[in-house]
Amino acid sequence: MANDNTKNRKAILVTPEVCIGCRACQVACKSWNQLPGIKTKNNGTYQNPPDLASAAFNIIRYSEVPSDKNPVRWLFVSRRCMHCDDAGCMKICPAPGALYRTKEGAVAFDRDKCIGCKLCVNACPFDVPRYDVEGKVTKCHLCFDRIDAGMQPACVKTCPTGALRFGDRAELISTAKKDGFNTIYGEQDLGGLGSIYAFKDAPKLYGMKDDPAIPSSVIFWHTVLKPFAVAGLGGVVAAAAIHYLTVGPHKDEEE
């Protein structure tokens, strides 16, 4: 369901197989977006901060899975906004322009327009949006400001190995497939994601959600309740008008 505005859609292709877990992407993101350092503690893992945060638009998830040839298999997966084509956050957002689609097809935000209702946080299938101390939405915005200036997103620019690539979405997908990655996570999900992942194993191994979807209540609300809110009001007004014209106002009986 590619939108008109996303015909020339750009994307970030994440290839965890090539990621070395150096986390230059985390630093580059913070540097470009001038995000403050978070006071953390070591929780017995390299992963820090433990999850996305208002001051951490991307993180590397470190996970250990069993291996048949080594003591363990250690996976590094970049986690960030997925820039869904069918974006739950945008769908539920009540404030026009607070979350918006960039011309590259990414989902960006406008702090000034955000009303801080936090609904987007809950409608996101990937638990991505966060709120900063002022109660405004923050998340990866695919560095639309850098892209506008002809540059790559900060994380992609700094990635030494090509685990993060930025470019024309269709091209990225076909290149990844040519390179032998038979699973492109996000190729079709949610209308096609803007952060796509190239895998040779099942995405689930890498901690990716099977069949990501916008919560069904949000879908029901969007497809049934919203139209009803218009149709219902219109219907009632029309019914009253018809009633007034056909039956007419109440007449008190003459004694």
Partner 1 sequence: MTNHWIDLKNADVILAMGSNPASNHPISMKWIMRAREKGGKLICVDPRFTQTAAKADLYAPLRSGTDIAFLGGMINYILEKNLYFKEYVVNYTNAAFLVSPDFKGPAELDGLFSGYNEKKRNYDKTTWSYQKDESGIALKDPTLEDPNCVFQLLKKHYARYTLDKVTNITGTPKDKLEAVYELYGSTGKPDRVGTECYAMGWTQHTVGTQNIRAMTIVQMLLGNMGMAGGGINAMRGESNVQGSTDQGLLFHILPGYNPVPNASLPDLATYIEKNTPTTKEPRSVNWWSNRPKYITSYLKAIYGAAATKENDFGYGWLPKLDVGQNGSWLMLFDRMHQGQFEGFFAWGQNPACSGANSNKTRAALAKLKWMVNVNLYDNETGSFWRGPGMNPKDVQTEVFMLPCCSSVEKEGSISNSGRMAQWRYKAVEPVGQSMADAEIANELYFKVKELYKKEGGAFPDPILNLTWDYGEKDAAGKVKHIDIHAVAKEINGYFLEDVYDTKVEPPKLIGKKGDLVTSFPSLQADGTTSCGNWIYCNSYILKDGKEVNMMARRGKDDPTGLGLYPGWAWAWPVNRKIIYNRASVDLQGNPWDPKRPLLKWNEAEKKWVGDVPDGPAPPMGTDGKFPFIMKPDGVASIFGPGLNEGPFPEHYEALECPLEENSMSKQRINPTIKIFGGESDAFYSCDSRYPFVATTYRASEHWQTGCMTRHCSWLLEMQPQNFVEISVELAKELGIKNGEKVIVVSGRGEVEAVAMVSERFKPFKLENSTVHQVGLTWHFGWQFPEDGSGFDSANLLTPTVGDANTMIPESKAFMVNVRKA
Partner 2 sequence: MAEMVRKSSSDEIINHWIMALSCILLIISGYGFLFQIEGIGSLFGGFNAMKTVHNWLGVVFVLSLLYSMGHYFKDALEYDDDDRQWFKVAGGYLSHKVKVPPMGKYNPGQKLYYLAILAAGIAIALSGFAIWLIQDNAGLILLAHLVHNLAFCIFIIAVPVHIYLGTLANPGTFQIMVNGMVPLELARKRYPKWMKAAGKM
Kind plus residue range of the DSSP H or E element containing 235: helix 226-246
Binding to partner 2 (CB under 8 A): which residues in 30-89? none
State residue 73 phi and psi, 5-degree precision.
-115, 125
Binding to partner 1 (CB under 8 A): which residues in 7-26? 18, 20-24, 26
Among 2, 49, 118, 151, indicate the residue that binds partner 1 (CB under 8 A).
49
Please give the Cα distance from 169 to 12 (Å, whole number): 8
Among 49, 50, 116, 191, indicate the residue that binds partner 2 (CB under 8 A).
116
Beta strands in the chain (DSSP E): 10-14, 59-65, 73-79, 99-101, 107-109, 130-131, 137-138, 164-168, 183-185, 195-199
Provide the minimum distance between the beta carbon of 23 and partner 1 in the complex, in angstroms, as a whole number: 6
Partner that binds at residue 207, options partner 1, partner 2, none, CB closer than 5 to 8 Å by kind: none
Provide the minimum distance between the beta carbon of 14 and partner 2 in the complex, in angstroms, as a whole number: 24
Query: Is there a contact between 46 and 26 (Cβ–Cβ < 8 Å)?
Result: no
User: Helix H segments across 109-225?
Assistant: 119-123, 144-148, 154-158, 169-178, 216-220
Give the contact letters, 66-95, x = binds to partner 1 (CB under 8 A), - = no.
----xxxxxxx-------------------
Partner that binds at residue 7, options partner 1, partner 2, none, CB closer than 5 to 8 Å by kind: none
64-72, 93-101, 109-117, 149-157 -> range binding partner 1 (CB under 8 A): 64-72
Partner that binds at residue 173, options partner 1, partner 2, none, CB closer than 5 to 8 Å by kind: none
Query: Is there a contact between 155 and 58 (Cβ–Cβ < 8 Å)?
Result: yes
State residue 11 phi and psi, 5-degree precision.
-155, 165
Query: Is there a contact between 59 and 137 (Cβ–Cβ < 8 Å)?
Result: no
Among 1, 4, 7, 44, indicate the residue that binds partner 1 (CB under 8 A).
44
Among 160, 207, 232, 234, indicate the residue that binds partner 1 (CB under 8 A).
160
Could you tell me if residue 164 is left (phi over 0), alpha (psi between -120 and 50 degrees) or otherwise beta? beta
Binding to partner 2 (CB under 8 A): which residues in 178-217? 215, 217
Residue 51 touches partner 1, criterion: CB under 8 A: no
Partner that binds at residue 21, options partner 1, partner 2, none, CB closer than 5 to 8 Å by kind: partner 1
Please give the Cα distance from 109 to 79 (Å, whole number): 18
Query: Is there a contact between 195 and 11 (Cβ–Cβ < 8 Å)?
Result: yes
Kind plus residue range of the DSSP H or E element containing 24: helix 24-33
Contact residues: partner 1, CB under 8 A: 18, 20-24, 26-27, 30-31, 35-46, 48-49, 56, 64, 70-76, 160-162
Contact residues: partner 2, CB under 8 A: 92-96, 98, 113, 115-119, 121-123, 127, 215, 217-218, 220-221, 225-226, 228-229, 232-233, 235-237, 240, 243-244, 247-253, 255
